[in-house]
């Protein structure tokens, strides 16, 4: 029978969806969370500039080991693009549709931490919500690693009038939405109440690692395999009880107990179909999330 985990047990295996305030760095948010909870390890899954607000996913303690499947999720933003000279709305929409939706080539900005080399990124949509003179309110959904500030300036350059990003708010990261995020003040208050014995507010804020990765394909293993797998032993067909369909070779997969606890992340050696008939290793263990001493 599955035992319900306490809030204290959940903390090291959880993420928090934070509404990052303006004026501080993503790193400062992580430092604040570490301080609130008294943790040794925390990490965020995608930097927001100090003047950008919105969804920032922070992983707590052991959950930082799952960063490879939390980083790289698609992003959605709302913001204001400021045109240096006014442009007809129809022309603006046509320019964006023809040149900045789909696969685009971007050179990261000067202040970025990556090499300033052209790279392909996908802009799934770029919608103008409202235009007031030179101020253009927009919503865009993009592949991870797309620089919105650079996207705005490139649009201005294409229009031959110049433009820059005036405001930006991240409203979604993967399945994490702004409406479900929490302010630093709310999180701090919830943790203070937790220390006083009221676990409910914090329990509503913590998102278990299992809930945080619905996009990761799963392999469920038998109880007798938990200890060796949590010590790094490779996964063979005989360990698996259930293999989710759609797994591709070299894909990162989640190894789960029958109680739906994430044990480890591994690299698939073959696809789902061949896993069911393959002899030997089907998944190489890459990162251990939970230890078992059964």
Catalytic hit among 49, 74, 127, 286: 49
DSSP 3-state percent helix, strand, coil across the chain (nearest 5): 30, 35, 35
Of 240, 232, 246, 242, which Cα lies nearest the Cα of 285?
232
Residue from 153, 141, 158, 165 nearest 99 by CA: 158
Pair 257, 245: CB distance under 8 Å:
no
> What's 51's DSSP letter?
T
Contact residues for 201 (Cβ-Cβ < 8 A; gap 6+): 189, 190, 193, 194
Best CA proximity match to 264, nearest among 277, 252, 255, 272: 255
User: Could you tell me the end-to-end alpha-carbon distance of the chain, in angstroms, rounded to an integer?
Assistant: 16
Encoded tokens for 228: 């060796």
State yes or no: is 88 an active-site residue.
no
Beta strands in the chain (DSSP E): 14-20, 42-44, 53-60, 75-83, 102-106, 119-132, 135-142, 163-173, 176-177, 207-208, 218-221, 235-236, 240-243, 252-256, 262-268, 281-288
- The Cα–Cα gap between 45 and 26 comes to 10
Q: In what order do the strands lie in the sheet with 281-288?
A: 235-236, 281-288, 262-268, 252-256, 218-221, 240-243
* Spatial separation of the C-alpha atoms in residues 71 and 44, rounded to whole Å: 9
Enzyme catalytic residues: 49
């Amino acid at each position: 029978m599955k035992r319900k985990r306490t809030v204290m047990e959940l903390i090291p295996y959880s993420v928090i969806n934070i509404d990052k305030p303006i004026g501080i760095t993503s790193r400062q948010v992580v430092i604040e969370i570490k301080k609130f909870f008294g943790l040794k390890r925390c990490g965020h899954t995608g930097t927001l500039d100090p003047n950008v607000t919105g969804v920032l996913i922070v992983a707590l303690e052991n959950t930082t080991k799952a960063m490879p499947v939390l980083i790289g999720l698609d992003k959605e933003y709302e913001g204001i693009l400021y045109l240096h000279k006014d442009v007809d709305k129809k022309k603006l929409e046509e320019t964006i549709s023809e040149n900045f939706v789909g696969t685009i080539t971007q050179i990261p900005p000067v202040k970025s931490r990556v090499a300033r080399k052209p790279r392909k990124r996908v802009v799934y949509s770029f919608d103008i919500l409202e235009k007031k003179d030179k101020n253009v309110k927009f919503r865009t959904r993009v592949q991870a690693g797309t620089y919105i500030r650079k996207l705005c300036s490139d649009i201005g350059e294409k229009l031959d009038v110049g433009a820059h990003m005036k405001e930006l708010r991240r409203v979604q990261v993967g399945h994490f939405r702004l409406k479900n995020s929490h302010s630093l003040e709310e999180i701090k208050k919830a943790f203070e109440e937790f220390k006083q014995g009221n676990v409910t507010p914090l329990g509503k804020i913590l998102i278990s690692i299992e809930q945080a990765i619905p996009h990761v394909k799963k392999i469920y293993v038998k109880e007798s395999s938990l200890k060796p797998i949590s010590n790094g032993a490779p996964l063979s067909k005989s360990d698996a009880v259930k293999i989710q369909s759609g797994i591709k070779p070299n894909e990162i997969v989640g190894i789960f107990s029958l109680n739906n606890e994430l044990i480890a992340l591994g690299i698939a050696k073959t696809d789902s179909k061949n896993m069911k008939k393959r002899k030997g290793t089907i998944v190489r263990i890459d990162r251990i999330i939970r230890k078992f001493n059964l």
